[in-house]
């Protein structure tokens, strides 16, 4: 017999779910769309990582760090007041994304026209990740629209930069001969 304890709580059978504080809300609340969007984006990034040839590459480590930061972002969304300051998305995280984006931009020619995703499997998955990220950003805007000074505004900024980063990475991945093992530290 399978023991479902810890996974199946049956607490959501009535259409409610809990935030980190234990507060119960209807599963159709926007906060759960945002949390689901973060989870979906992290899963798509995991798929991009799985297709990378070099598991010790610079891009692989960037994606791994981004997935870790998305977990932190989800915690902030779930109940911002319960997350310690050291475990929050910060301007440093945004600046780090910008630095990575610049590194990839210096190594790829960006198109001056609309792109057609699908040059190869890994770039196509990066483009799907980018579109999921853009949808997540729209959900964030809807979720935070009533309070522009929200502590989540830095998370929204991070998500915005992340979609830009993913656009550049997808273009970089379109060239199967790209190698990023020349980078040591950034």
Give the distance, in angstroms, between the CA of residue 141 and the centroid of all CA atoms in the same chain: 15
**Percentage of residues of the chain with pLDDT beyond 90:** 55
Please state whether 6 falls in left (phi above 0), alpha (psi between -120 and 50) or beta: left
Pairing mode, if any, of strands 24-26 and 16-18?
antiparallel
Assigned CATH topology for domain 25-173: Hypothetical Protein Ta1238; Chain: A; (1.20.1200)
Query: Given this model, what pLDDT does residue 182 score?
Result: 36
The domain segmentation of the chain, as residue ranges, is 25-173
Span 95-137, pLDDT tens digits? 999 999 999 999 998 888 899 999 999 999 999 999 999 999 9
User: Distance between CA atoms of 89 and 65, rounded to whole angstroms?
Assistant: 12
pLDDT band at 177 (very low <50, low <70, confident <90, very high): low
How high is the pLDDT of residue 22? 72
Q: What is the DSSP letter of 86?
A: G
Q: Is the pLDDT of residue 38 over 50?
A: yes
pLDDT mean over 60-75: 95
Helix (H) or strand (E) holding 26: strand 24-26
Rounded to an integer, what distance in angstroms lies between the CA atom of residue 171 and that of residue 75?
A: 31
Q: What are phi and psi of 26, to 5 degrees?
A: -65, 140
């Amino acid at each position: 017999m399978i023991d479902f304890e810890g996974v199946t709580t049956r607490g959501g059978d009535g259409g409610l779910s809990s935030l980190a504080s234990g507060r119960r809300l209807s599963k159709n609340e926007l906060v759960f769309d945002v949390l689901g969007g973060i989870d979906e984006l992290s899963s798509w990034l995991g798929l991009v990582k799985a297709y990378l040839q070099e598991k010790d590459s610079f891009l692989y480590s960037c994606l791994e760090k981004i997935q870790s930061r998305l977990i932190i972002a989800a915690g902030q969304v779930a109940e911002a007041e319960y997350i310690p300051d050291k475990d929050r998305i910060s301007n440093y995280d945004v600046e780090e994304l910008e630095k990575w984006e610049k590194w990839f931009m210096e190594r790829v020619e960006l198109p001056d026209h609309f792109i057609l995703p699908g040059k190869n499997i890994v770039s196509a998955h990066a483009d799907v990740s980018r579109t999921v990220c853009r949808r997540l950003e729209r959900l964030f805007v809807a979720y935070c629209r009533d309070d522009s000074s929200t502590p989540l505004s830095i998370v929204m900024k991070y998500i915005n930069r992340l979609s830009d980063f993913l656009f550049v990475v997808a273009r970089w991945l379109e060239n199967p001969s790209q190698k990023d093992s020349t980078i040591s530290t950034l």
